[in-house]
Amino acid sequence: MIKIAIMGYGVVGSGVAEVLSMNHDIISSRAGQEIEIAKILDLRSFDDSPYAELFTKDFNDILNDKSIKIVAETIGGLDPSYEFTKKLLKAGKSVVSSNKELVAQKGDELLSIAKENNVNYLFEASVGGGIPIIRPLHSCLAANKIEWIQGILNGTTNFIMTKMIEEKLSFEQALLLAQKLGYAEKDPTADIGGADANRKICILASLAYGKHVYPHEVHQYGIEDVTLADVAFAQSMGCVIKLIARAKKLENGKISMMVCPAIIPVSSKLASINDVYNAILVKGNAVGEVLFVGAGAGKMPTASAVIADIVDAVKANNTSISQYWAPSCESAVSNYREDVIKFYLRLQADDVEAAKEFILNNYTTPIILSRLDQPENEIAFKTDFMLEDDVKKLTISLTEKGFKQLSKIRILD
Ligand code: HSE
């Protein structure tokens, strides 16, 4: 029998206890021994819980209990999770985590500490909720050079975009609905602004390319400025708009990173991933494209991933599984302004003909778009491949000419 502890009895932590109890026999047989919850850390009281006598408010009760070998960290955030995790690993306990913020910011350091202490730091639940992606990327695709990873990594924004596309809800209406249904984080800015997806693509890129990619190095945009007019123009191109997170290995060895709303063709594998679902498309040089799809959040799916890590930590039996990446002294990430990409731009112009002339003369083979109910003072077009930097310069000159930029969205086709 092996004893574990859970830190943080919120949605995910309570889900871990629930799934461990619900699937007790099958989990024990897969782990090769019984798994018993010895302690649960939470500052709140849960007197009516079936685990009431296991609760403690003192972290040291877990740290100093030598019989506890594995700890599930489901607190989230950096403080106090970072300090707690370091202490537990140094004390020779494996830690499994659903905490994407901590892994994205401090994964390199925590993985090193785990290795030095011959224990494991595992975080399958930190990306894509219940979707198996960390282990497949690390183990099953180990034979491949990963050319790129592209994904829908945030359920809330995918839900919002689905409602905008399918039910013509405005961004504000769709966000309210997502909050009502409990999909958005407490502070939805991390979802809609792209920070949540950013953390997740950083974890995947670090794992795929062996060097820590930090969220602050990533060019990040959210979906808060996407309008129903943009959705309609995308539809006129046979496309949809999704919040896409992408990591791509360049020939010069650097990694191109991007988190932003992107226009993708309806025929692409990610276009049909709707509602709160997440999907991760991975291109390996031997295997080709592999798609992982599933529930990207939620109590039971995320608990399922945390317990998979607990089972692995049990089976690892005093060895450190080789999942690892190195700290990145010099940034591994390329300068996004050197990326070459197609753009969609929407402008407001009192003189639409003058705007059209400017566009045709200054952009590379632009295609003027049209949509139903298009106001007379609106013009939208898509460019050919252009340097991010050139597009930036041209949008500045559009503004100088008196044309107001309403939208600028990247096109991935
Ligand atoms: N708020 C996140 C999402 C939860 O919407 O995907 C899982 O990280």
Task: Give residue-wise pLDDT tens across range 250-276.
Answer: 999 999 999 999 999 999 999 999 999
Q: Which of 198, 186, 188, 236 is nearest to 336 (CA)?
A: 198
Ligand 1 pocket test: pick from 127, 156, 204, 304 the residue with the most ligand atoms within 8 Å of its Cβ.
Answer: 156
Please give the structure tokens belonging to residue 116.
């030095």
Per-residue pLDDT band at 318 (split at 50, 70, 90): confident
Per-residue pLDDT band at 385 (split at 50, 70, 90): very high
Percent share of the chain, pLDDT over 90: 90
Q: Which of 269, 260, 220 is nearest to 241 (CA)?
A: 260
pLDDT digits (tens, 9 = 90+) for 61-90: 999 999 999 999 999 999 999 999 999 999
Q: What is residue 326's predicted lDDT score, i.e. its pLDDT?
A: 84
Q: Which atom of ligand 1 is nearest to the CA of 184?
A: 1
The rounded Å distance from CA 278 to ligand 1 centre is: 9
Q: What is residue 330's predicted lDDT score, i.e. its pLDDT?
A: 78
Chain centroid, CA 297 distance in Å: 11
Ligand 1 pocket test: pick from 191, 201, 202 the residue with the most ligand atoms within 8 Å of its Cβ.
Answer: 191
The type of residue at 381 is F
Q: Output the CA–CA distances (angstroms, integers) from residue 7 to 18, 31, 47, in the order listed.
A: 14, 21, 17
Phi, psi (degrees; rounded to nearest 5) at 410: -75, 145
181, pLDDT greater than 90: no
53, pLDDT greater than 70: yes
Residues with CB under 6 A from ligand 1: 129, 154-156, 183, 185, 191, 196, 296-297
Nearest CA to ligand 1 atom 4: 297
The rounded Å distance from CA 185 to ligand 1 centre is: 7
Contact between residue 408 and residue 383 where contact means Cβ atoms under 8 Å apart: no
Chain centroid, CA 154 distance in Å: 6
The rounded Å distance from CA 403 to ligand 1 centre is: 37
Contact between residue 266 and residue 273 where contact means Cβ atoms under 8 Å apart: no
- What mean pLDDT is reported for the chain? 95
Contact between residue 6 and residue 13 where contact means Cβ atoms under 8 Å apart: yes
Nearest CA to ligand 1 atom 7: 297
Q: Which atom of ligand 1 is nearest to the CA of 190?
A: 1
The rounded Å distance from CA 218 to ligand 1 centre is: 19
Q: What is residue 23's predicted lDDT score, i.e. its pLDDT?
A: 98
Q: Which residues are catalytic?
A: 200
Nearest CA to ligand 1 atom 8: 297
Residues with Cβ within 8 Å of residue 285, at least 6 apart in sequence: 144, 145, 146, 147
The rounded Å distance from CA 183 to ligand 1 centre is: 7
Q: Which atom of ligand 1 is nearest to the CA of 200?
A: 8
Please give the structure tokens belonging to residue 107.
């994964």
Q: How many CA atoms lie within 13 A of 102 on its CB side?
A: 26
Q: Mean per-residue pLDDT for 113-120?
A: 95
In the beta sheet, which residues pair with residue 293? 279
Q: Note if the bond before 80 is cis, omega within 30 degrees.
A: yes
Q: What is residue 124's predicted lDDT score, i.e. its pLDDT?
A: 96
Q: What is residue 189's predicted lDDT score, i.e. its pLDDT?
A: 94
Per-residue pLDDT band at 296 (split at 50, 70, 90): confident
Ligand 1 pocket test: pick from 153, 185, 259, 300 the residue with the most ligand atoms within 8 Å of its Cβ.
Answer: 185
Q: Is 97 helix (H, G, I), strand (E, B) or coil?
A: strand
215, pLDDT greater than 80: yes
31, pLDDT greater than 80: yes
Which sign does the torsion angle of CA 379, 382, 388, 394 carry?
Answer: negative
Q: Which atom of ligand 1 is nearest to the CA of 154?
A: 6
The rounded Å distance from CA 6 to ligand 1 centre is: 21
Contact between residue 284 and residue 290 where contact means Cβ atoms under 8 Å apart: yes
* Other beta carbons less than 10 A from residue 293's beta carbon: 18
DSSP string, 327-355: --SS--BPPGGG-EEEEEEEEE-SSHHHH
The rounded Å distance from CA 354 to ligand 1 centre is: 44
Q: What is residue 186's predicted lDDT score, i.e. its pLDDT?
A: 66
Please give the structure tokens belonging to residue 207.
């794992």
Q: Which atom of ligand 1 is nearest to the CA of 197?
A: 6
The rounded Å distance from CA 156 to ligand 1 centre is: 6
Q: Mean per-residue pLDDT for 40-68?
A: 97
Q: Which atom of ligand 1 is nearest to the CA of 185?
A: 1
Q: Mean per-residue pLDDT for 185-209?
A: 93
Q: Which atom of ligand 1 is nearest to the CA of 156?
A: 5
| Separation of alpha carbons 212 and 350, rounded Å | 48
